[in-house]
Amino acid sequence: MQTGSIGTAVVIGGGPAGLMAAEVLAAGGARVAVYDRMPSPARKFLMAGRGGLNLTHSEDLSRFLTRYGASEEQLRPMIDALPPDAVRRWCEELGQQTFVGSSGRVFPQVMKASPLLRAWIARLTAAGVSFHMRHNWRGWDDDGALLMEGPSGPQAIKADATILALGGASWPRLGSTGDWIAPLENTGTEVAPLLPANCGFLAEWSDVFKSRCEGKPLKRIAVTFNAETVRGEALITARGIEGGAIYALSTDIRHHILAKGSALLWLDLRPDITMDDLAARLAKPRGKQSLATFLRKAAALSPVEISLLHECASRPLSELDAQELAELIKQLPLRLTGVAPLATAISSAGGVKWGEVDAHLMLKRKPGVFIAGEMLDWEAPTGGYLLQACFATGAWAAHGALDWLQQRNANPTSQRAT
């Protein structure tokens, strides 16, 4: 590897955090090489783009930061340094205009990731960043060199600074497998267990319900757990339930299930109608209509919602009066019995504990090695918050690495290469 004006930097992980780190490093004068296990960079980024590529969110920054929960304090300076407006400008500099959707979420106008990624890779390549695909990182050798396994076999690569941005462990087929944990733990670094975030949950559906309703959406519902209510949509799966309204509550639901073994959700299938209004509609004579037809017409319930009422009710629906039916529709209990597997989650919770990195995201036990993206111990709901923090931590770690390189050049005998 050739030496740039201030030194060499290796970025391991070609996702949003790693690519943002590479961009900042190259702009700062480092010679940058990006290594990734996949055949091409940012596979998960491209997958996210299939749903429109929710880059960030337009809400007030003070409210925005609360979305990171227990990690708000740690992430605040990083997002302050690269806030949502800066991410939008960055996107537009790459030729992709953005817009704010009705929910406040920010998207590229083309509603996909591939044009943005192509422009980004082209700009990085023009800045001198080299890309090395199909390379797996295995840790360090006794001399501190990075151990890589690539198409040509094992390699030991020396770098003046390293940024690890290998992601969490959701969607492992796209490159994030979590196999970086062992090499870090071998250094004594503490890693919080990787857990599903923005994930689905398990429910004990009957075979009849499962066969009829798997893959069917619940639209415009409200979901309540622990006194917090979220409006949105959900999706019935063969094993349980997932979707935006569920993801928004998934942190608390996951904690509860891991502690107690199960969790009870309350679904409001008709959140735009009051209980009294709904009861009045259901009190009208049914005549010769079947119960399903009556519920569809009087309460505007879909077939999957009617099936869900049958599935979750403690008594047959035909035995309920109008008030009881209204209460069931507005307060439908759904017991969740487990958390869906991490591999199926949108993102991961857990990672390198904040106490293991300094203010620049450098590992305290491995000077010159910086951590970015989902490898750090934070989580956030969908809505642009995930990508925003990946971009911000990638840029922050890169600025930390540039400072490290500058200090190293100023006093080369005081610090060793990594």
pLDDT in tens, 389-416: 999 999 999 999 999 999 998 887 655 4
Amino acid at residue number 69:
G
At residue 226, the pLDDT reads 95
Sign, Cα dihedral of 127, 81, 162, 18: negative
Distances (CA, A) of 263 to 20, 196, 201, 226, 254: 39, 16, 10, 10, 8
What are the backbone angles phi and psi of residue 201, rounded to the nearest 5°? -135, 160
One-letter amino acid for residue 311 of the chain: E
> Which amino acid is present at 119?
A
CB-based burial, 219-234: b 16+ in 10 Å, e otherwise: eebbbbbeeeebebeb
Query: Which residues on neighbouring strands pair with residue 283, listed in sequence order?
Result: none
Task: Give the model confidence (pLDDT) of 79-138 as tens digits.
Answer: 999 999 999 999 999 999 999 999 999 999 999 999 999 999 999 999 999 999 999 999
**DSSP structure class, residue 70:** G
Tokens in use for 341?
A: 């597997």
Strand order in the sheet with 332-336: 332-336, 263-268, 217-225, 228-236, 240-242, 201-202, 338-339
| Whether this model's pTM surpasses 0.75 | yes
pLDDT tens for each residue of 219-272? 999 999 999 999 999 999 999 999 999 999 999 999 999 999 999 999 999 999
Span 345-383, pLDDT tens digits = 999 999 999 999 999 999 999 999 999 999 999 999 999
Hey, how many other C-beta atoms are within 10 angstroms of the C-beta on 344? 14
Q: How far is CA 400 from CA 9, 33, 79, 168, in A?
A: 12, 17, 15, 22
Are 233 and 244 in contact by the 8 Å Cβ rule? The answer is: yes
Q: How far apart are CA 306 and CA 298, in angstroms?
A: 12
Cα distances from 404 to residues 172, 299, 397, in angstroms, run: 32, 64, 10
